[in-house]
Chain A
Amino acid sequence: MMLKIDNLHVSVEDKEILKGLSLEVPAGEVHAIMGPNGAGKSTLAHVATGRDGYEITDGSITLKGEELTEMEPEERAAKGLFLSFQYPLELAGVPTLTFLRTALNAQRKARGEEEISAPDFMKKARAAAETLKMPMDMLKRSLNAGFSGGEKKRMEIFQALILEPDFLILDETDSGLDIDALKVVAEGVDNLRNADRGMLVITHYQRLLDYLAPDKVHVMAQGRIMDSGGPELARALESEGYDRYLEDAA
């Protein structure tokens, strides 16, 4: 199993947010998580990547069989985990390509691989920029500095194309994108899809899923997975909403 989350309980300041969440995403598959605000979707993304401020009271998260919960965020990244942030940060004064090359080489070093040479890195960067229709001068600036919401989301996918993770969590990557940008980003994500890689797409809306065609859709509410099904489940949610799951839980 690529990503396996088992009976995960997570609290923030003594308030339980995730209440026994279990989920499995095999290699080669794209799963979507949909759910109302406050369901705990972003908490799941943060806990999986090792952000401070969350207490795991029970359960486990494994990537390719390795337990992640005790690892530092950078170790998880080196193991192949990548989060596309809902709100990507602006790093004023940190040039995009310097940042990414530092990150890629840090990951390679942690895996005992050789550093990438500057020309090879540039080749990779150019190819990724072409896929995402990003002008190269965007990459010469500080990371995300002065970027629009949509440009930042595109930059997240650009980073994924460079870092080539084994597993991606996309946290509302579609929010803030107009329809053209959504299409480009979806193409970028589709480019990353292969038999060895898994993805978990967190979203409120159907529209990204129209492009990505997930293998499975999970409904999350009240800190748990309440329902799972095929792409038809996403369409049903779009028309019927989440009320059913909220009532179920109550």
Chain B
Amino acid sequence: MSLTQHKPTPAETAFREAYEALDASGGRAQSWAAFAEQGLPHKRVEEWKWSDVRQTLRQPRSQSGAVESDISPAQAFGTAGAAEIVFANGRLIGEPELPEGAVLHRQDEANPPGERESYPLAALAGALTLETGAYVLEINGEVSRPIRLRLISEGEGAHHLRLSVVVRENASATILESHEGEGAPYANTLVELDLQRNARLKRYIIHQGSADVVNTTTTLGHVAERAGYHQAILTFGGALTRFDARLTCEGDETDIRLDGAYLLDGQRHADLTSVVDHRGEGSVTQQVVKGVVDDRGRGAFQGRFDVARGAQKTDAQMQHHALLLSERAQSNAKPELMIFADDVQCAHGNTVGALDENALFYMRSRGIDAASARALLIEAFISEAFAHIPDDVQEEFIARSREWLEKK
């Protein structure tokens, strides 16, 4: 819905004011026009029916100020000995020391209008990012040391970040990304990925913060021939959380994993949405998403695999399974396969249910108390989503999940 067609909400008006205060160069104007055309997404838009951003962002928000306090040492991925890039409220902190083969620079010149204009929050990030243009993390070689990317949010304002990651031909890297939030800010991030021939990017994301944080993170990626992108997300939700990934596999034999888990209690919300568009031949895409929802938490999973007419021999498997631990917990799922090729293997599986009482009794009959039995079963359930990630990251994901379970 266009801002010209509906009366802008106070939040949309505040975004306009923020835009007008910025220097309208570097593609900002196009991005703003695209956002203004669409407005904040809301529940009457099919793709956003379980994540009503307009409703959640009722109050106007000005651009977040800089984070005043000292940046605390990394909690997530703390032991990985990684290089570190820190953004706090959308601002780059310090000069990152990156391993050889990796550089971070700013691209001031206007990017050609791209697909970000098609997604309202991606367009919003392009329009309101503090720095004109985008930060670009460029990977030119086989970078073995992981790069820790911390996105810290505080206060009650809104901040937008536009980051591109370009992985050149035959290059590879691992990004350990943490979304850390305190207070009640709105953090809107756009990550544009360009994975060139035979490039490999692994990206592991932990999102854990206060219950009032609104976080929307959109990933728009292009994957060339024989390139690989492996992503796994562990989110504990917030007032509204949406991790949205749109990948276009242009080349043949791409290799994609999009795993994740959402663990929600209180009134927290998390939405994992993804679309993978297969255009080349012989690509493999796998996805395992698990959800555990307690209290009045709300989880959502939307997954779509598109297979174009010529994308023969595509092998794409999608799994989403959610456990509801209370009567008022919710998990909504929409798995979709859109297949236009005839020689493919594509499948999806989706379940939402309660813990298996028979399994619980079985464990208790062996001497394990009810709470421990429940925790063991839930941990086993979640772990399936982490089965394909490197050991140290897996350990951290499981440890954090266990911590969450132990609080119950």
Q: Mark A81-106, 1 if CB is under 8 A from B, else 0.
A: 01101001101111000011011101
Q: How far is the CB of B65 from chain A (nearest CB, A)?
A: 45
B380 touches A93 (CB 8 A): yes
B369 touches A74 (CB 8 A): yes
Residues of B within 8 A of A100 (CB): 366
By size class, the interface of chain A is 20 to 34
B365 touches A83 (CB 8 A): yes
Q: Given the known inter-chain contacts A94-B377, A142-B380, please indicate yes or no for A103 contacting B362, CB distance below 8 A.
A: no
A3 at the interface (CB under 8 A from B): no
Report Cα–Cα, A89/B357, bound state, in Å.
Answer: 11
Report Cα–Cα, A10/B308, bound state, in Å.
Answer: 61
Report Cα–Cα, A100/B384, bound state, in Å.
Answer: 20
Q: How far is the CB of A69 from chain B (nearest CB, A)?
A: 15
Q: Given the known inter-chain contacts A89-B358, A99-B363, A103-B363, please indicate yes or no for A94 contacting B380, CB distance below 8 A.
A: yes
Closest to A107 in B: B367
Per DSSP, are chain B's interface residues mostly helix, strand or loop, or mixed?
helix
Q: How far is the CB of B375 from chain A (nearest CB, A)?
A: 10
Q: Mark B342-375, 1 if CB is under 8 A from A, else 0.
A: 0000000000000011110111111111101000
A40 at the interface (CB under 8 A from B): no
Report Cα–Cα, A74/B360, bound state, in Å.
Answer: 11
Which of A83, A93, A99, A103 makes the CB contact (< 8 A) with B384? A93
Report Cα–Cα, A51/B364, bound state, in Å.
Answer: 9
Q: How far is the CB of A172 from chain B (nearest CB, A)?
A: 16
Residues of B within 8 A of A103 (CB): 363, 366-368
Q: Given the known inter-chain contacts A92-B380, A142-B380, please indicate yes or no for A74 contacting B367, CB distance below 8 A.
A: yes
Q: Given the known inter-chain contacts A91-B377, A93-B384, please indicate yes or no for A85 contacting B362, CB distance below 8 A.
A: yes
Report Cα–Cα, A91/B381, bound state, in Å.
Answer: 9
B267 at the interface (CB under 8 A from A): no
A122 at the interface (CB under 8 A from B): no
A52 at the interface (CB under 8 A from B): yes
B383 at the interface (CB under 8 A from A): yes
Residues of A within 8 A of B366 (CB): 74, 77, 99-100, 103, 159, 163
Residues of A within 8 A of B367 (CB): 74, 77-78, 103-104, 106-107, 110, 163
> Which of B357, B365, B368, B381 has its CB near the most chain A CB atoms (within 10 A)?
B365
B383 touches A93 (CB 8 A): yes
Residues of B within 8 A of A92 (CB): 380-381, 384
A188 at the interface (CB under 8 A from B): no
Report Cα–Cα, A7/B241, bound state, in Å.
Answer: 58
Residues of A within 8 A of B365 (CB): 49-51, 73-74, 76-77, 82-83, 85
B377 touches A73 (CB 8 A): no
A130 at the interface (CB under 8 A from B): no
Residues of B within 8 A of A73 (CB): 361, 364-365
B376 at the interface (CB under 8 A from A): yes
**Contacts A50-B364, A51-B361 supplied; 20 other A-B pairs, CB < 8 Å:** A72-B369, A73-B361, A73-B364, A76-B365, A77-B364, A77-B365, A83-B365, A91-B362, A91-B377, A92-B381, A93-B379, A99-B366, A100-B366, A103-B363, A103-B367, A104-B367, A106-B368, A106-B369, A159-B366, A163-B367
